[in-house]
Amino acid sequence: MNQSVSALGSVVRATRKSKNLSQEALAEKLGVCKRTIIDIEKNTGNPKFELMCMLVRELDLPLYEVFYPEMEDCSEAKNVLMKELSDCSEYEMKIILSVVKSLRCTLKNEKAI
């Protein structure tokens, strides 16, 4: 089984439980039957893209855990940063990117000294 597929079930189950949602309550919020949630959590379901999007948004799933489960270096700071960036306009993103590149260059130079 694909590691990303098996990771999805684990992430959905853990996040759903951390939000004190039953499988039935989550299914109702997403407009699907409880069996769909059970299948996803047991890694027997193969949700369509639309359902994946709804799951990610409803549970505020960390995408790296779903799509890059092998990555272990994903700190809370990265999660917060990614969430902040997701709310930026294109103009804000260009400015932030410029600042981040400059700051990283400066930090690398200081580290080298």
In whole angstroms, how far apart are CA 72 and each of 43, 64, 68, 76, 78?
Answer: 21, 9, 9, 12, 12
Distance CA 30, CA 24 (A): 10
Distance CA 106, CA 109 (A): 5
pLDDT digits (tens, 9 = 90+) for 45-103: 788 999 998 998 999 887 777 777 666 655 667 777 877 888 889 999 999 999 999 99
Statement: the pTM of the whole predicted model exceeds 0.75:
no
